[in-house]
Amino acid sequence: MDLKDKSVLLTGGSAGIGRELARLLKLKGAHVALTGRNKERMKAMQEEGFEVIEASLSNAKGVDALVADIGEREFDILVNNAGQLVDHDFRKELPDSDAADDCIYANLSAPIRLTTALVPMLGRRPEAAIVNVTSGLAIAPAARQPVYCATKAGLRSYSMTLREQLKDTNIHVIEALPPVVDTQMNADNPMSKMPAIECAAQILDAIETNRPEANIGMTRLLKFAESISPALARRVTLRF
């Protein structure tokens, strides 16, 4: 897909992978409207020339408010990037069920609801794409992040089936599966982390080449291990 003059709606675009992806899309000549919650970060992105839309996507009301803000505008690309990480480890303490619910909605329900609202509009464009950012942990989960892993696995399944449903349309469905990336969300993760700009560049390449999947960094090795032995892949990741 040629990104010049394409209109992009990017959720979670004020920090981390989303921020770097927004910048790369802009360099390619795309017009990017991004969502976020942090006012200072949103202001900083606005000063860089991006359109910003304040939105909280951890419940249906927030997603519906975003759709209302969009109104009759049309986009060529929807990037479902916004996500949350929740500590849910019974080995430490009893987890917070409300926090888990917010994570489930933000990571899984919100992309589904937003996609459902925008598919009719995307279908009217000459060429369109839906990009769902999941995780390598959608392939094999980590023990300390069961809720996050479950949501990303759910979004992976949704992406695969959505791609099949839309295969004869103008809408490309792309799944990006990052490894552990150096973002605020992973600040406490002791593992080696990929720079956010490198991850964003590989997502951008998948959009430009219309690849159905972008297995990024160490996720490529995990995907290979899973293809040989799913049990082996799970043994590797469940330790973390």
- Positions annotated as catalytic residues are 148
Between CA 23 and CA 32 the distance in angstroms is: 9
Do 224 and 15 touch, CB atoms closer than 8 A?
Answer: no
Do 198 and 230 touch, CB atoms closer than 8 A?
Answer: no
Instruction: Give the SS3 label for residue 144.
Output: coil
Do 215 and 121 touch, CB atoms closer than 8 A?
Answer: no
Q: Which residues contact 61 (CB under 8 A, 6 or more apart)?
A: none
Complete edge-to-edge strand list for the sheet that includes strand 171-177: 51-54, 31-36, 7-10, 77-80, 128-133, 171-177, 213-215
Classify residue 166 as exposed, middle or buried by CB count within 10 Å of its CB (0-12, 13-18, 19+). Answer: middle
Between CA 127 and CA 6 the distance in angstroms is: 10
CA–CA–CA angle 83, 137, 119 (5° rounding): 50
Do 129 and 173 touch, CB atoms closer than 8 A?
Answer: yes
